[in-house]
Amino acid sequence: MTALILLGCMEAKPEVELNILLKSRGEELEEMIKSKISVFNSLTSDYDAWFEEEGRLIFASEVEALRQALPLLPKPWIEVGVGSGRFAQALGIDIGLDPSSKLLRMAKNRCISAILGKGEEMPFQDGVFGTVFFVVTLCFVDSPKKTLDEATRLLKSGGKLVLGLVLKESPWGQLYQKKKETGHHLYRYAMFYSYGEVDMLLNQAGFSVEQVISTLFQNHGEVNHIELPRQGFSTDAGFTVILAAKGST
């Protein structure tokens, strides 16, 4: 058996093409999926509604920053931790992976070819993707090292990695860290990393940083307009995009 594929609409990638990309894992994959029940399964409605309500301007600012990295990114693209498909839909990513079956059904309805799985053990063959996206995902995976090693395996020669991050040293990261420490229903599961820690993890996985983009310089809770992204890293930014290239082997 292979991974569960949810095809949402005619625009989604054909199942026969996806099955060429998928790597058969049999019972091992089945057990992995059963043992990993995402916390997001119990938060699907609230999570997805955030993008249109209180998070509308935040989401739009993050999308603008991510779009700066899109030109010339090799295809096909996949988003790991696709969730309900909000970012994938906005960025034109047509394949997504997530451990939450409930969120994947929302992604399917947004024309994303949605696949059940987790970042540490992705059910795909080697070297089948041009670009792998992790948007506010690295902080929720069990092992960032294993996840980035898997991204390396999935990418073709010359492939790219795009990270969307709330960094630990940023004002937003510091706020979320405090929420984590007080048992916040979502952030208690998160592990926030500094820019230096992310850079080290990328180097260990064989990636080199090519571009950094920053946004959300407004205070958390006071975002009143969509921000234009800025080039380069800033500790004052609430959201950071890192574009990295797979090294030669």
Q: List pLDDT tens digits, range 225-241.
A: 999 999 999 999 999 99
pLDDT at 9 over 70: no
User: What pLDDT is stored for residue 192 in this prediction?
Assistant: 95
Domain ranges of the chain: 5-246
CA 96 – CA 107 distance, rounded (Å): 8
Q: Which residues contact 120 (CB under 8 A, 6 or more apart)?
A: 141, 142, 143, 146, 147, 150
CATH code matching the domain that covers 5-246, chosen among 3.40.50.150, 3.40.50.11710, 3.30.1490.20, 3.90.1150.10: 3.40.50.150
Provide the pLDDT confidence category of residue 13 given band limits of 50, 70 and 90.
Answer: low
Question: Buried (b) or exposed (e) across 102-126, using 16+ Cβ within 10 A?
Answer: bbbebbbebbbbbbbbbbbbbbbee
Q: pLDDT-derived band of residue 4, with 50, 70 and 90 as boundaries?
A: low
Tens of pLDDT, residue by residue over 171-207, are: 999 999 999 999 888 888 889 999 999 999 999 999 9
pTM confidence score: 0.88
Q: Do residues 224 and 218 touch, judged by C-beta distance below 8 A?
A: yes
214-223 pLDDT, tens digit each: 999 999 999 9
What is the C-alpha separation between 170 and 194, in angstroms, rounded? 8
